[in-house]
Every structure is written in C-alpha cells, then in structure tokens.
Structure 1
Amino acid sequence: MHSTLRRAGGFAVVGTLALAAPVLNGAAFAPFVAVALFAAFVITDGPLFELFARPGDRQDGRLNGLAGFALAAAGLAILVTVMDLPVDLFVAAVLVLAYGNLGAQFVAESSDDPFLGTAGFVFGGFLAGIGGQAAVASFVGDAILLPRFAFLAAAAALVAALVREVLFEQDDPLVMLSTGLLLWLFDLLADAVAPVEIAVALVVTVALGYVSYALGTASVAGMLTGVLLGLLTIVFGGFAWFVVLISFFAIGGLSAKFKYDAKKERGVAEDNDGARGTGNVLGNAAVALVAVVLFAASPWLPVEANVFQFAFAGSLAAAMSDTLSSEIGGLYDNPRLITTFETVSPGTDGGVTWQGELAGVAGAGVVSAFAYLLFPGVTLAGAAVVLVGGVVGMTADSLLGATIEGDRIGNEAVNFTATVVGALVSTVVALAVLV
C-alpha cells in the first residue's frame, strides 16, 4: 500500500470523529481542535508523523495538512452551535471530503486516469455522505430519508470534487467549508425529494456527464460542473427545466466539435480540443443556476415563481445564440465588426457574419421552443419574449467583444454578461407585456 493511500486512510479515520457530534453536542469541535493541536505542536516525528505527512509537512517539521483539515472541521462544528447548522450536514461535509479523498487514492493505486480518479472521489464521498446522515438520523431518532440523503450526499460530493479540481486538490479547509455551507443552502431549498426523482436524476446526469467527457465536449472540471448543474436543476426545478438546460449543453457542446479542424486552421477553434471547462460552463449557465435556485426559494420571495422561468430560459437562449453564432459564424469569411461594420479577420472579438447571426437566432429559437413546450408559464408570446432575450444577449456579447473584451475582460466574463442581459430582457419584457 502506497504512502498516499495510507495517508488518505488516516485522514478518513480522523474525519470519522465527526460521528461523535450528536453525542458531544456543543463540544463537537473539541476532538478536531485536539487533533489540530497535536498535529501542529506535538507530532513532529515518528510513525504518526510519517503516516499523515505531506511533502511540504516534512520540510516544515509540522503536520500542516492534518492541522488545516481538523481546524476546518472544528469551524464547521462551531457553526452547528452558534448558527444552527444541522448536525447531519456537518457530519456529511466532513465525511464526504475524508472518504472522497480515500476513494480517489484507492483508484490512483491502479490508474492515473483523471476521470477515474474523480469518479473514485465522488463515489467514496457519496457513500460516506449517505452513511453519515443516516447514522445521525438513527442516533437522534429522526426518519431515515434515503432519497433526500442521496441528493445531499451527491451534491456535496460533486461540490467538493469540483472545488478540488478547480483550485487545489489538497486545499482541504476551503473544500470542506465550501461543501458544508453549500450543503446547508441545498438542504434549505430542497422540498421532499421523491425516490424516483433522485434515482433518475443521478442516473441521467452522471450518464450525460460521462458522455460529454468521453466525446471531448467537456473537461473533467467542466463535466463535474455540468453534472452538478443538472442535478440541482432537476431537484430544484424539475425535469422540464433540465431538458431546457441540456438542450444548450448538448447542442452547444457538439457545435464546438463541428468542423473543429477547419476552425483550428482558421484560428477560431476553442482551446483544449473544444472541451469546455468550468469557466466556460459557469460563464454560460451560472445565471440559469441562480434562476432555478430563486425558483426554489420563491415561496419566501415577493415574486411569482414563473418569472424565474423567463430568466432561466432567457439566459440559456442568449448562451445558445452566442455559442452557435461563434461556432458556425467562425467557419465563414469576411466577418464584420459589429460596431463599425468594417471587415476584420476571422476570430476577431466582436466580428460577426450573417451566417453566424442566423445560426444564433436559430439557437435562441430552439431554447424558446423548448420553454414553450415544457414550461406551463410560457405561452407562445412568452416564447417570442425568450427568443428576443436570447438575440439581444447575443448582440450584447458581440458589442462587448468589440469594445472591452481582451486585456480588461475575458471571454467567460463576456459570456456571463450576455446571459445576464438575456435573462433581464426576457424577464422585464415578460413582466411588462405578459403579466
């Protein structure tokens, strides 16, 4: 057994101390504070030091990694007392990270494939998250709600895996705190989770995530982001919302691969062989995620729930419109700068072709059609509003590209702004004309 796997096992044992939280109540932080103190000041050599030491720890002569892990767990435990963070969510957040790391290292013993390593982390964290919640519920006498536990464990495992992938895989304190706080939010927003709903959601989102990675339309981080977005969209919105979301991911992802070699020769192809990373996925879908979260929170907001359907669809219409406009329009010569109409080189920010603009309108039309067919609050006139919002968002993207994109603002930020414009236009017009 390699030292990294043994170390992960040691961290998993430390993380298991979280299961004592229901017994310790307000003192749930105490075991982790003790571990942090021993790691920082007492264990400086010997077998325990060698078990837990990371490369940087040996240089410092101190178990910084273990101390940081334990202090993050202690911090979450304090939130249980002072801010009423549910005990089962605290336990789940700690165990997801501890056993997720163990799962990743177990896979690493036989494979260095990044997808398999991530799958090992998510699967190990998922099982530990369910087990931790069930153990707490059993101890305190609450009902064991496996569908809800499965949703929260899956969401926590995906969040933790994503933060590790995007930032740094050994930054345990940030991963644990981020996971715990987001898990708290998800728990507040999720209504009763039906067994069939969560089972289908997990199977569908994981399968589509794997397909996107296998086809090269998403990186590992992009795949994780897409799966998490899909899961949250199904649970907070429903399958209709998910179909609208996946229409963008599927068509947008395939359009990036369409005639990729020709676009590469012209210098207009996406980096990383067209595989979309987290920045690209969030730049295009973050507004949609906010819309579905607000939809779930609508019982506590002074706004009609169907308003968020227009924000959701309008943002994705803008994202689809902009994506197809760029991916299809980049294949044609003589693009013109949208601000001056002068001819520019292919790939110039803000350069448009009539073929790309037509493809963009068609992309917005696809999203608006799905919204009309699937959202009860979107009539035929509402679909037209979504279409307008998408086209305006695409135009805003081109204008920003021609004026400020470059040194001052990146492509992901421009994409995000375009989706904000699409959401706002769709929502404001719907409120003014349809409500």
Structure 2
Amino acid sequence: MSVTLTEMISEFSLKLMLLIQTVRIILYSLIFLVSVLGNSLIIAVLVRNRRMRTVTNLFLLSLAASDLMLCLFCMPFTLIPNLMRDFVFGSGICKVAMYFMGISVSVSTFNLVAISLERYSAICNPLASRTWQTKSHAATVISATWVVSFLFMLPYPISSTLVPFTRVNNSTGNMCRLVWPSDVIQQSWYVSLLLLLFLVPGIMMMTAYGLISLELYRGITFEMRQCSTGSIKPGDNDGCYLQPAKKKKGELAHLQNSPATPSPNVTINSRDNVGSNKSKLSRVCSNSSTCNLMAKKRVIRMLLVIVCLFFLCWTPVFAVNAWRAFDRRSADKLLSGAPISFIHLLSYTSACVNPIIYCFMNKRFRQGILSTFTCCSSPKAGGVGRGAGSRMGTGRGGGRGGTRSGEENGHTPQSGNNTMSKWSCSTTPPHTVQ
C-alpha cells in the first residue's frame, strides 16, 4: 500500500512539474512575442515618421530600444538554462548577456524617470519648460543615460562566469553567475542597485506623477466650481488644463459675436435671438467642461496605473537580489526553479506593458502607426499620414497663446487637447538577472 501511495505521489509531482514547465514556456513565449513586436513597431514608426520625433517621443524611442534589448538578452538566457538546468551558451555569451541585461534595465529606469520629469515640467510648469525642453536637450539626456548605463554596469562582464554544479543524477551542469571578491562587495552592489534603480526612481516617479495628479485635481475642482456658479468661460485655465476644442471655440466666438439686434430683413424677435444664443453658449460650455473633467480623471487613473505597474513588476526581483546577497543559501533553496523563473517573468512583463501604456493607448500614436504603414500604398494615404503625424507630434501648439507646432520647436504640449492625448496613453525600470 505504501509503495502504491509513493508511486501516486511521484506521478502527481511529475505531472505538476510538467504543467508548471508548460505554463512557463507559454507565458515566456507570449510576453516575448508581444514585447518584441510592440517595441519594434514603436521604433519603426518613430524612425520612419520624422514628424513624430518630438521631445516625448524621443524618450519613448529610447525606452522602446532598451525594452527590446531587455527581451532579447534576458528572456531567452533566463528561460532556457532554467529549463535545461544548464547554461549551454558558453562563457562569452554569459558575460555579454549579463552585461546587456544590466544596461537595458538601467536605461529603462532612467528613461522612465526622464519621461515623468518631462511630463511634470510640460504640464505644470509650461512657461519655464520652454527654455530647455528641446529635441537637442532630449538627445543629450538620452545619450547620457546610455553612456552612464554602459559604465555603471561594467562589473557584470568582469564578474560574470560559469559556475559548475552537480545535478541530482550526479551529472555536471553550469550556471551563469556573478562571482564577487567578497560578500561585502556583493552586498554593497545589490544595495546600490536597489537604491539607484528602484527606490530613488520610484520615489521620483511617484512625486512627479503625484504633483501632476494634484494639479489636475485642482483643475477638476476649479471647473466644477465654475460650472456650479455658471461663470465658466472658454479658455479658463492656467496652462496645465485642457483648452476647449477648436470647433467649440469657433462656435463660442460666433455665438459671442452674434448681434444682439436683428437686421432689417430679420423678423425674429431680438430678445428670442439673444436668449437662443445664450442657451447655445451655455450648452457648449457645459459639454466642453464635461469633456475636460472626464479627460483629467482618465489621466489621474493612468498615472496611478503607471506607478502601480512599476512597483508590481520590479519589487520582487530587487527584493530577491538583495535577499540573495545577504543569505544566498536560503534564497536559492526556496526560490530555485519555478519561483525565480516567474519572478523574472514578472519583471520582463514591464517590457510588454510599456508600449501599451505609453504609446498604443494614445489615439494619436495609433493614427501615426496607421499613417506610417499606409503612406506607401496610395498618395491619398500618404497625405493622411503626414497630417496624422503632425497632429501626433506632442507640440506646444495647444498651449495658451501658442501658435507654433511641436515640430517647429521640439517641445511637448503644455496644455490643451494635445496634452490630454499624451496623458491618455501612458513604467519601467530595471532588474538584474542571475
């Protein structure tokens, strides 16, 4: 009876291991494909469409490149050795893969912080940001993030090596690991990563997006108060809020400039005419205010999603790295195999959700994608593509009193519908795999 029970337990364990392995392969493959396709599409669109190379989109281009690097150098070299219980790619690939893993994580983090600061400045300090938010400044910041990341992650290729181990069946396998001169150096390295690539960037993003949400909430309160008193006027904003749509502004101007007295050829009572104009004006203002409030609420929700996803994706892997630095034996005992594989998968998910949050949820970016890949089919489509690309440009033309487009000055929008469109789209940062 005991033998039968043992066989049943062994068979159940084997089936469970096969199920977990199948689920891992499916999830890794799905996230890998979505990440590669999404980030490659973003890169192709921004490279082919010159009109979309605005300040914000330059940061998104760098983010897409780092996320693509994260997929190509992290996922295959994490899943395959984990399934085979052996790193079969050799010592050279071990060093290169570890190096580019760290670089991609570092660049992604710095880009996300730069995007949050750029958005805060463009939305809440639009006038001050005009002097420095240019394409050349964005290119300088992006170049600096890549150079700093390449230098900061040099310990990876230096310390990475193949470590042999004995399997259960007495065969020998290899692991790609970081071998440090001492435990103090290892602990100092992982604590610095935890601070520089997770805690500090996370706090900066929370602060920037929190201030933006507070500014938008004040705008919501202001507009609701104006609506309740009936004193709202088109264009009542401080540069951080939505402007009424162009069509509505034209309609408002027409209604406001309409004569109060009828012409000799008109037989309508002037009092009825004025009352009708006021009624139309009230409806237009009400509709515009409602749209503004809904857009700002969507922006606040999106900002919360960005911050939550940042911590959801990266907290486990940074916590595990710090744990392994101070107590490697217990961490390897409890997390080896499927647990660490799923923790890494959660961090790789950031490369999958970044294109969705920051780009594909933006209606104008979707228009830019369609225009980019349809402009070669017909002249008419090409014309549409140019127009969509121009509208997609996160220019400051929507700002108060602004008349120049984003392509002319390289700025991102400070206010207006363009700003809300950018915010209707919506982190990620780093991690180090061992």
TM normalised by structure 2 equals 0.20
Larger radius of gyration, structure 1 or 2? 2
Of structures 1 and 2, the one with the larger relative CO (CA 8 A, separation 6+) is 2
